[in-house]
């Protein structure tokens, strides 16, 4: 089963469905993992409190880029409150493989970027658990 998830990660890394930029957009947020050099930017279009389109751009390892692509699949059509409720467990479930501490930061970078941008939309302060 884990081999299937590895294939999905490689496929999403090589052929991401949501790679690009949105212009105009309602939200754009970028961050990086300075330990490994991964850098992700996420753009969202939000209408009636729902994510109607999402794109990511940047560079990084297969885990960070596949995670971003899978996460954007997950959020299109969701409300901002549903997006804010996403956790690291949700992202890890999307990836479907066990990760060590170094790769965990790669996998969660897109969640950190997404939440940073979504909380910024409402003028609220981003609050992540220590593990996120």
User: Domain-by-domain residue ranges, the chain?
Assistant: 2-119
CATH 3.30.70.20 fits 2-119, yes or no: no
pTM of the model: 0.87
Instruction: Write the pLDDT tens digit of every residue in 38-83.
Output: 999 999 999 999 999 999 999 999 999 999 999 999 999 999 999 9
pLDDT surpassing 80 at residue 10: yes
CA–CA separation, 66 vs 101, rounded Å? Answer: 17
């Amino acid at each position: 089963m884990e081999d299937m998830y590895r294939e999905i990660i490689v496929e999403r890394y090589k052929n991401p469905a949501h790679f690009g930029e949105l212009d105009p957009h309602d939200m754009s947020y970028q961050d990086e993992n300075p330990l490994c050099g991964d850098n992700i930017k996420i753009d969202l279009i939000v209408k009636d409190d729902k994510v109607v389109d999402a794109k990511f751009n940047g560079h990084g390892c297969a885990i960070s880029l596949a995670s971003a692509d899978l996460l954007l699949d997950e959020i299109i059509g969701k409300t901002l409150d549903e997006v804010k409720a996403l956790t690291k467990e949700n992202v890890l479930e999307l990836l479907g493989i066990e990760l060590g501490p170094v790769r965990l930061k790669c996998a969660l970078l897109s969640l950190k970027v997404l939440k940073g941008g979504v909380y910024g939309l409402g003028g609220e302060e981003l609050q992540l658990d220590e593990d996120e």
